[in-house]
Amino acid sequence: MVQRRNRKMQIFVDADACPVVAIIEKIAKDNSVPVMLLCDTNHVLSSTYSKVVVVGAGADAVDYKLISICHKGDIVVSQDYGVAAMALGKGAYAIHQSGKWYTDDNIDQMLMERHLSKKARRSSRKCHVKGPKKRTEEDDERFAQSFEKMLLMAREKEGR
């Protein structure tokens, strides 16, 4: 398949339980970049700015759909390291909802840590796993700054 030249950059969000959708939309709107929110049928999303795509509830269905439609130079927002790795493989930029950039330099280590953590959880008899810390305004500000920096860098680098 031949990719169209001068294709406009898009932002794709793995939006199932994503706490930064409003921040993404504000920054994207301010920069006139289209956003696509992908979620499964177990989540209800609506947006006045973004296109919302609802995918079947199968395991990883949203992840596979997102990767099938993103292109080189797009931005992918996901907390899933596997999705980030596939996005990087397609030449897209990827960012975690914490604001951490996924890069070719850090993704292998992140995937290995995820694997080791999963292995440790399976071997442990404890079933009391605490969830993530409550999100703060500082977390949102850190994400907003990092995301906007990525968007501007990608736009300049891709000439879009």
Q: Write the pLDDT tens digit of every residue in 41-100.
A: 988 899 999 999 999 877 789 999 999 999 999 999 999 988 999 999 999 999 999 999
Q: What is the DSSP string of 96-153?
A: -TTSPEE-TTTHHHHHHHHHHHHHHHHH--------PPPP-HHHHHHHHHHHHHHHHH
Beta bridge partners of 67: none
Model's pTM, two decimal places?
Answer: 0.85
Q: Write the pLDDT tens digit of every residue in 50-62.
A: 999 999 877 789 9
pLDDT at 77: 97
**Local confidence band at 3 (pLDDT 50, 70, 90 cut-offs):** very low
